[in-house]
Structure 1
């Protein structure tokens, strides 16, 4: 039986350091735990939640880093992505936010806010330049390094 993919409205946030690095998460699809990849912080917006509020909440839950929705400002891009995760098909309508955040300001990354499934699929966080991630080759999506470059440019303009 064919199931239609679940469509979600998603907010993603790319913290950018003064050195031009972006904070990314290392994780996996629980259905394929042996395949690990780097991806941006973010997730689906809850009912009644603005996209900026969702991005700020996801940043807090997934990294322990606290910023206000207002600090995120205006989004700098959108994209759609189709994927399978934990055996289910999704289509995400994603909105991208960027925020200036020095690595020292971020402090120690904490995964204390992860739910059970997230805690089984997010393993690490690290600061990357787009060039470093290109060399690493484990980006979840080939568009990620371009999104990182756009986030860096957005933060430097504002």
Structure 2
């Protein structure tokens, strides 16, 4: 039986590195899934390119207005987003900040419901964390980001 075609979801993801190279992650709660953690970012708006989306998502999700640096890393993944099967095409960016606190007042209604918790993680904590952190190769991405940022 053939699977129905999935909509392509163009996504910009930002590795936001804070003090002591800690990575900001959001805990995501979605119906039918165990809680998981994910970095800042989201879908490109119509007509928006990946760098524009990275800047907008960084501002909306953290209150930081800056242009993240493209890492030149792209990843594709199939998953269900808000009940819709999608094929995500994710481009990764990095930004460093000295800020320890972020402003989540720009979160969308869905983000306010699903992402009620965030924290700064060390690489050791990520490796030992009991809940899933996406993408699964996040430690490799952090190493690439540290080399670029």
Indicate the TM-score class for this superposition, using the shorter chain for normalisation: 0.7 to 0.9
Give CA-to-partner distance per residue, 1:60-104, whole Å, 9 cap, x none: 11122221x3xx233341111111123211111111000111234
CA distance in 1, matches of 2:143, 2:99: 17
Deviation at 1:18, TM superposition (A): 4.7
Superposition misfits of 4+ residues, deviation over 6 angstroms = none
CA distance in 2, matches of 1:137, 1:148: 19
Equivalent residue number for residue 88 of structure 1: 84
Q: Does residue 133 of structure 1 match 2:123?
A: no
Deviation at 1:153, TM superposition (A): 2.2
Deviation at 1:2, TM superposition (A): 5.2
Equivalent residue number for residue 98 of structure 1: 94
Gaps of 5+ in 2: none
Equivalent residue number for residue 153 of structure 1: 147
Gaps of 5+ in 1: none
Equivalent residue number for residue 10 of structure 2: 9
- Taking a change above 3 Å as real, the CA distance of residues 48 and 85 of structure 1, as seen in their structure-2 partners, is closer
CA contact (8 A) 2:43 2:53 kept: yes
TM-score (norm 2): 0.87
Tell me the number of residue pairs that the alignment of Structure 1 and Structure 2 aligns: 147
CA distance in 2, matches of 1:99, 1:28: 25
